[in-house]
Amino acid sequence: MNNDTKSNVSLLDQLQLASVIEASTLAVLVCVAVPLKHLWDWPIGVRVIGPLHGLAFIFYCWTLLQTAGAGIWQQRQITWLAASAFVPFAGFVASRRIRQHIEALREESSTR
């Protein structure tokens, strides 16, 4: 595996991790913290999970921009990955797509 491929795989590994973290915090925020706030008048969950999700979202956006800048993804794929950050559980699907892309890069590299 050459250095460019290693670098791309490293960026994609980071993006996959960011996708899982972002999707997990969004799911907890939407499915747990917000209902607790509105149904049982318990806002502490949103006060805790909200900023954590914000950090996870920024981390995801940053890693997505890095991979976009590296030319790893096509514009359509970048748009889909960015949109997945706004839909609960879509980040898990994005993570699976990222993993498939990593495997394809590794396979392509090993056949050279």
Q: How far apart are the C-alpha atoms of 48 and 8, rounded to whole Å? A: 34
Predicted TM-score of the model (pTM): 0.91
Q: Is the pLDDT of residue 87 over 70?
A: yes
- In 3D space, the residue among 34, 29, 48 whose CA is nearest the CA of residue 89 turns out to be 29
22-47 core/surface letters (b: 16 or more CB in 10 A; e: else): bbbbbebbeeebbebbeeeeeeebbe
Local confidence band at 67 (pLDDT 50, 70, 90 cut-offs): very high
Q: Is the pLDDT of residue 55 over 80?
A: yes
pLDDT of the residue at 54: 97
Tens-digit pLDDT profile for residues 2-18: 778 888 999 999 999 99
Name the residue with higher pLDDT: 83 or 112: 83
Calculate mean pLDDT across residues 55-69: 97
What share of the chain in percent tops pLDDT 90?
Answer: 85
3-state secondary structure the chain: CCHHHHHHHHHHHHHHHHHHHHHHHHHHHHHHHHHHHHHHCCCHHHHHHHHHHHHHHHHHHHHHHHHHHCCCCCHHHHHHHHHHCCCCCHHHHHHHHHHHHHHHHHHHHHHC
